[in-house]
Amino acid sequence: MQGSRPSAARNVSHCVKLGGPVNILPVSPERTGPSLPARLVVGAVRYGPAFLVQVGFFYLALVVGDIIATGQTTSRRQLALGLVVALGGMGFAEATFRLYKRVWAVAGLSDAIALALAVIEACALVTLADALIPPTWRPFPIAIPVLVAPIVLSALAAFRLLPRLLLRRSIPENRLLVVVPDSSAYGMVRSLVQSSSALWSPIAIVTAKPLDARVTVMGIPVVGDTRELAHWIQVTHADGVAFVHGDIAQADFRSLLSVCLKLEKPVFVIPRAEEWLRSTGSNRIRMLTADDLVARSTNELDLGGAAAIIADRTVLVTGAAGSIGSELCQILVTLKPRRLVLVDNNESGLFDTAAQLRGISNVDLREALVSITDRDALLTVFADERPDFVFHAAAYKHVPMLESHPEQAVLVNVIGTCNVLACAQAASASQFVLISTDKAASTQSVMGCTKRLCELVVLSHQGTMQCRAVRFGNVVGSRGSVTPIFERQIQQGGPITITDPEMTRYMMTPRQAASLVISTVTLPSGHLYMLDMGEPIKILDLANALIRSRGLRPGKDIEIVFTGLRHGERLAEDLLGPGEGWRSTSHTSIREIVTPIPEHASDLEWTINHLLDLAKTQRSTELIRALKQSVWPVTIPNVQEPMTSHMKQASAEEAAT
């Protein structure tokens, strides 16, 4: 053993010199496959019985057809020859279409077509053989194989599809009523029916188009329209209701959802086909989420104008590993930029985001593991990449956390934004978009004050770069959002924790928010924009809907506990700050906010430097006081467009308080 070690070392050294990899795993002895006779035996045992059954059906149909056609039986010699011919014909057909390799328990249309073609080939071969055999030896009349082909196909189809029928009968099923927008969604219903692993079995379909009633989809009847949803839930004895994604208006969807919740039925969603491809799982039905409750129509998310501007340009996104940043990137890659630069200081998140994007697009991606507080490193990235568009989403956003760490809020949110803006200008970027928040409209929280300062910095920027800021509310499903917390608490059996029963929030899905942010590049620069948030949603109602949509009862199956407001939180968020108003834009879902900005950029610069000094010296109390005093006492600009009645009312109410 001692003598063998130098030799092994020389072998390893030799491998390294040649540049080949060194195998550190033990080498297993070479295995030879089974011999040909062994493989034949295994194949005969595995596929032989089913093949013999097929031949039996085929031969029996030929013999019976011959007897019916001629009125007499043939000789034993002809019967034996007929068996050989039937065996050969079916054998060739079986091999041609590889029927033996198909998994009939999950058979589909392609398998049925293959079986039909195999029967046609077998009948054709038998007919050809009959024609070549002398009449005295001919086992069957020439026309018999053609005449019995439909009977053979029916018998073999019943035999081959029997495993699938037995498998579906063995699965415990719950009765599912499916709600579809129109006939275009029938394909997804058909896929759900064909899924042999489904625990929920569709028993009826309700459509938003009454003209589609009384038809069937894979044997599932379309019983009526959505106006009588409650009636059809009771008549069909449905255990749950599933909605197919489509063009059902959000108001109509919520109305239908309330019907299901009143009847205490669990609610599911059947996603679009493209969502099946993006999903990591194989389920074609999922539980209702908060995204479904606040989703908008696809018409509001049209990116046609932005696509023409962004195509073949270099785009940089800060905070690319965050909730909004990653969603921005997923949409941007579909607009075909020349290059997409991902900037974040979260190594794992940046890696995961880049890997996900590479899986769905071939756009040139660059990752930059850089903090926006490191100005020199950030400048290097901008100098190397030379972006045309910059979407600044990097920020600290958790309100209670930043109340305890105001220094970090200022350093990351305010100073970080100044760094990104300066680097973008130095790199000659053409457009800059800041992601802001509705919390910037109030001095209630440290986080909101820092984002308001970011808005002022961007809107006061003097240079060739076109700058915009976009303000919107809560994003459902994002990190720290209540919705994933609620879903986790429901899964754990409760209780659900809510700060106050009267708390409301404006909510959007990540895709809605990101799509509308990108759409602002088509609007005039130098303005603050606000996304149309719709009506505020009561957090208690959201929790109740999520509980009831799972067939559970609030307060009985899942308890709800009120914990009280945390420091920096409010019962309701404002969309407009003191002295602000809004006016419409060319985009129906985006509004322009008329907001006061500093008349002199030097005043804003002094304020930021003062806050930076307080943050560096850890004077938290003075920092919070100075921060809250610095964001709103500025001169109100002249408004070119007359204020709407809504704006005047908001201004009057603010003056009265």
Q: What is the pLDDT of residues 69-110, one digit of tens each?
A: 777 777 777 788 878 888 888 888 888 888 777 766 656 677
- Cα dist from 384 to 116, 190, 438, whole Å: 62, 51, 34
Q: Supply the angle between the helices 620-630 and 601-616 in degrees, to the nearest 10.
A: 160
Query: What is the pLDDT averaged over residues 619-645?
Result: 65
State which H helix or E strand residue 343 sits in.
strand 339-344
* Phi-psi domain of 20 (left: phi exceeds 0; alpha: psi -120 through 50; beta: other): beta
DSSP labels, 606-620: HHHHHHHHHHHTT-H
High-pLDDT (> 70) share of the chain, %: 80
- Worst-scoring range by mean pLDDT, 59-68, 234-243, 331-340, 359-368? 59-68
Higher per-residue confidence, 510 vs 13:
510
Q: What is the pLDDT of residue 424?
A: 95
What is the mean pLDDT of the segment spanning 549-557?
A: 80
Here the tokens at position 13 are: 């050294």
Predicted local confidence at residue 11, as pLDDT: 46
Q: Which pLDDT belongs to residue 253?
A: 79
- Cβ atoms 130, 123 nearer than 8 A: no
Task: Please report which helix (H) or strand (E) contains residue 339, including its range.
Answer: strand 339-344
Measured CA to CA, the distance from residue 320 to residue 341 in angstroms comes to 9
d(CA 124, CA 199): 43
pLDDT bracket for residue 276 (50, 70, 90): low
Pairwise CA distance, residues 119 & 153, whole Å: 6
Across the range 473-479, mean pLDDT stands at 73
* Region 215-226 average pLDDT: 79
Give the DSSP letter string of 161-190. HHHHHHHHHTS--EEEEEEESSGGGHHHHH
Q: Both tokens of residue 573?
A: 């968020």
Residue 518 CA, chain-centre distance (Å), reads 19
Among 602, 600, 582, smallest CA distance to 646 is for 582
* Nearest by Cα to 483 from 555, 554, 537, 553: 537
Sorting pLDDT into bands at 50, 70 and 90, what band is 633? Answer: low
- Of 485, 505, 504, nearest in space to 495 by CA: 485
CA 446, CA 405: separation in Å to the nearest integer? 9
458 near 425, Cβ under 8 Å?
no
Structure tokens at 556: 């009985």
pLDDT tens-digit map of 566-614: 877 778 777 788 888 888 888 888 889 988 887 777 888 899 999 999 9
Q: Are 261 and 233 in contact (CB under 8 A)?
A: no
Mapping DSSP to helix (H, G, I), strand (E, B) and coil, where does residue 119 land?
helix
Write down the residue that tokens 């996304």 correspond to: 531
pLDDT at 459: 92
Residue of higher predicted confidence among 161 and 565: 565
Mean pLDDT of 316-344: 93
Return the amino acid letter for 532: D
Query: Among 325-339, 367-381, 402-416, 553-567, which stretch is predicted with the lowest mean pLDDT?
Result: 553-567
Copy the structure tokens of residue 148: 């019995």
Check whether 491 has a pLDDT greater than 70. yes
Q: Which domains does the chain have, with CATH numbers?
A: 42-167 (no CATH), 174-288 (3.40.50.720), 303-475+507-533+574-638 (3.40.50.720)
Which of 263-277, 429-443, 464-478, 515-529 has the weakest average pLDDT?
263-277
β-pairing verdict for 389-392 and 431-435: parallel
Res 475: pLDDT: 79
| Token output for 491 | 């899964």
Q: Which pLDDT band, with edges at 50, 70 and 90, does 63 fall under?
A: confident
Residue 362 CA: distances (Å) to CA of 261, 349, 353, 375: 43, 20, 14, 30
Reduced DSSP (H G I as helix, E B as strand, rest coil) percent helix, strand, coil of the chain, to 5: 50, 15, 35
pLDDT given at position 158:
79
pLDDT-derived band at 33 (thresholds 50, 70, 90) equals low
Res. 170: pLDDT tops 70: no
User: Quick one: average pLDDT of 264-275?
Assistant: 74
pLDDT band per the 50, 70, 90 thresholds, residue 34: low
Helix (H) or strand (E) holding 17: helix 4-17
Strand partners, 434: 392, 469
Other CB atoms closer than 10 Å to residue 634's CB: what's the count? 18
Cβ partners under 8 Å of residue 72, min gap 6:
none
Cis peptide before 578 (omega within 30 of 0): no
Of 88, 84, 153, 151, the C-alpha closest to 116 is 153
Q: Reduce the DSSP state of residue 344 to 3 states and report it.
A: strand
Cα-to-chain-centroid distance, residue 433: 25
Which residue shows structure tokens 């055999």?
133
- Residues whose CB falls within 8 Å of the CB of residue 582, separated by 6 or more in sequence, listed in order: 530, 575, 576, 591, 592, 593, 594, 644, 646, 647
Confidence (pLDDT) at 479? 67
Closest CA to 317 of 460, 514, 454: 514
Question: What is the rounded distance in angstroms from the CA atom of residue 200 to the CA atom of residue 223?
Answer: 18
pLDDT per residue as tens digits for the range 378-435:
999 999 999 999 999 999 988 889 999 999 999 999 999 999 999 999 999 999 999 9
What is the distance between the alpha carbons of residues 624 and 358, in angstroms, rounded to a whole number? 42
Residue 646's pLDDT is 38
Cβ distance 267 to 293 under 8 Å? no
So what's the pLDDT on residue 198? 55
- Mean confidence (pLDDT) of the chain: 79
**What's the pLDDT at 636?**
36
Per the structure block, which two tokens stand in for 389? 């568009």
Closest to 138 in 3D by CA, of 120, 149, 126: 126
pTM above 0.75, yes or no: no
pLDDT of residue 390: 96
On whether the CB atoms of residues 211 and 184 are closer than 8 A, the answer is no
Q: What is the pLDDT of residue 480?
A: 63
Classify 592 as helix, strand or coil: strand
List Cβ neighbours of 37 (8 Å cut-off, separation of 6 or more): none
